[in-house]
Amino acid sequence: MTHPLLQSSGATRVEPGQWVVTVPRSWGSWSGPLGGLLNAIAARAATDLTSPGTAPMATHTQFVRKFSDAPVSFTATVERAGGTTQFVTVRGTQDEQTVLITSVVCGRRAGRPVVQRVAAPVVPPPEECQEIGFPPELVPFGQRFEIRQASGAYPMSGAARAEMGAWLRLRPEVPTDALIAIVMMDAMPPGLYPTLTEPAAIVSAELSVHLHRDLIAYPVDGFALAVQRTVTDGDGWCVDEADLWDRDGGLIAQSRQQRRILALKPG
């Protein structure tokens, strides 16, 4: 059965380790395809070549060129296959030019409980949070998610703090497995957005995601809480980090992004 994320994006497997997608506009972001979607498809291509029982543990994607509307082809290569850990590189190309390079760490979990040493933020449950939407002409992929503001200020409200949190779930609802979690880590606006008063071009140069749980065997039902913050910005760049939590305060995933600020007018 085709994964709902791959089905909605139109990604298809050419052969094991090779995938192709013509990203629909509904999965587009400010300046091209949603990076989190491409990151997830790269992870899927990687798992074609890994041993049964392994799953993505971490991904790191560099977006090396601006994307066009042409199909993106993904080709995975196993760099090293150990007994419990396997390292795969995935190269994405458009018109024979490299547009992204992803490294994927796949591992076999031991089945022991995960010790969580950080606490989730205290926010209202999603049923008590207001649903918000992003302008589809600016952020088309926003229509793919139900988004309920949980903490921080709204985007483009001229706030002082570069952080916001929201409950997310895919439309139609799909349990959060590894691929969905990877996409969710790129679903929130840049942390700087609450400090702005109008849209700005802030684009990803690289995106790293770390998965903390076995989401293959135990996907998360319902909403997940994404908290996005900018930790530094200046000189035309910013560094964002994000956390993804379940309703019980369990940590699902974390991410960090290096972003290029192409235009910015602070509030």
Supply the pTM of this predicted model: 0.95
- Give dist(CA 57, CA 72) in Å, integer: 24
Q: Is the model's pLDDT at 263 over the cut of 80? A: no
**Per-residue CA distances from 200 to 37, 42, 191, 196, 267 (Å):** 21, 28, 12, 8, 11
Average pLDDT across the chain, whole number = 95
Q: Which domains does the chain have, with CATH numbers?
A: 4-109+130-261 (2.40.160.210)
Mean pLDDT of 61-86: 96
pLDDT tens sequence across 120-163: 999 999 999 999 988 888 889 999 999 999 999 999 999 999 99
CB atoms within 10 A of CB 135: 11
Q: Contact at 8 Å (CB) between 224 and 245? A: yes
Which long-range contacts does 216-220 make (Cβ < 8 Å, 24+ apart)? 216/55, 216/177, 216/178, 219/175, 219/176, 219/177, 219/180, 220/175, 220/176, 220/181, 220/246, 220/250, 220/252
Residue in 49, 43, 39, 41 with CA at minimum distance from that of residue 17: 49
Rounded to whole angstroms, how far apart are CA atoms 77 and 93?
14
What's the rounded Cα separation, in Å, for the pair 86 and 128? 42
Question: Which region holds residue 171: left if phi is over 0, alpha if psi is between -120 and 50, else beta?
Answer: beta
DSSP 8-state secondary structure symbol assigned to residue 116: P
